[in-house]
Amino acid sequence: MADPVTPLYFRLVIRLLRPFPDFDFGFIKPVRARAAALLELTERARVLDVGCGPGGSFPFLRAAVGETGEVVGVEISPDVAVNANHRIAHHGWRNVRVLTAPAQTVALTGLYDGLHMFGAPDVYAAESALSNLLPRLRPGARVVFFGAKTSTRPQGWLLNPLLRRLFPKLTFESTPLPDAAPWAVLAPRLAAFEVREYFFGWMFLACGTYPGPASVSAA
C-alpha cells in the first residue's frame, strides 16, 4: 500500500534502518525508561503507544507489563509500521502488536491502563486524536508524553527560531509547530499533571492521571 503521509526523508531513513530492528539513539534511552516508569504499569496491564514509530519504546513498555500484559502500538505510516513489526518479530514478543492507523480513527477495543506518546505531537497536541484515545482509558490510567518545545531559557533566543524553521521540514504537514507549552491541549484533562524539561528546555516529558470521562467532558 502506498504511504500517503510520511515525509520522504523519514521513509528513506526507516528503510535504511530496516536491517537493524533494535536500532535506537543511546541518549534517548534514559528518557524512554523514565517515561515507562511514569506510566506505573504493572504485570497484566494494557498500554497504548500511539505514534509508536519503529517501536523504540517497546522494550521498556514490554518489560513493564511482562509476559501477561499487552503493548499496542498505533502508527499512521505503513512504512514505519513495517519496522515496528520487525522489532516485534526479532524479539519474538507475542503480546506486542501494531495497529496501522491514524490515532484519530484507530478502532480500539477494551480499556487500557496507560497511554504513551513519545515524540508524537500529531497525537498529544491534537484534539481529534485525544477524543478518540481518552475514552479508551480506564479511570486512573496514567498518560505520559514526550516531545519538542521552544526553550524559555537564555539560550532560547538563539535556537528557538532554528527549531521552528527546521521542524516543519522534518515532520508531517499536519504537525503543530512547537511552542513553550505543547502540553496545553492535554494537561487540563489530567489530574496530578507534571512536566519536566530536558535538553536545555527544548524537550519535555509530561505525565498525569486520566480521571475518567466525566472529568474529560467537563474540561
- Give the footprint of ligand SAM on this chain (CB under 6 A): 6, 50-53, 56-57, 74-77, 80, 102-104, 118-120, 122-123, 129, 172
Distance of closest approach, residue 149 Cβ to ligand SAM, in angstroms? 14
Distance of closest approach, residue 128 Cβ to ligand SAM, in angstroms? 8
Residue 8 CA from chain centroid, whole number = 21
Question: Which residue lies nearer to ligand SAM by CB, 106 or 211?
Answer: 106
CB-based contacts of 16: which residues, under 8 Å, 6+ apart?
none
Distance of closest approach, residue 207 Cβ to ligand SAM, in angstroms? 16
Distance of closest approach, residue 161 Cβ to ligand SAM, in angstroms? 21
DSSP state of 178: P
DSSP state of 75: E
Which of 157, 197, 202 lies closest to 179 in space, CA to CA? 202
SS3 51: coil
Q: Which residue is nearest to ligand SAM (CB)?
A: 53
Q: Please, are residues 85 and 96 in contact by the beta-carbon 8 Å criterion?
A: no
Longest alpha-carbon distance in the chain: 48
Question: Which residue lies nearer to ligand SAM by CB, 57 or 211?
Answer: 57
Dihedral angle sign, alpha carbons of residues 18, 100, 120, 173: positive
Q: Pull the grid cell for residue 143.
A: 498518560
Question: Which residue lies nearer to ligand SAM by CB, 99 or 195?
Answer: 99
Distance of closest approach, residue 156 Cβ to ligand SAM, in angstroms? 22
Question: Which residue lies nearer to ligand SAM by CB, 120 or 144?
Answer: 120
Question: Which residue lies nearer to ligand SAM by CB, 6 or 209?
Answer: 6
Q: How far apart are CA 203 and CA 57, in angstroms?
A: 17
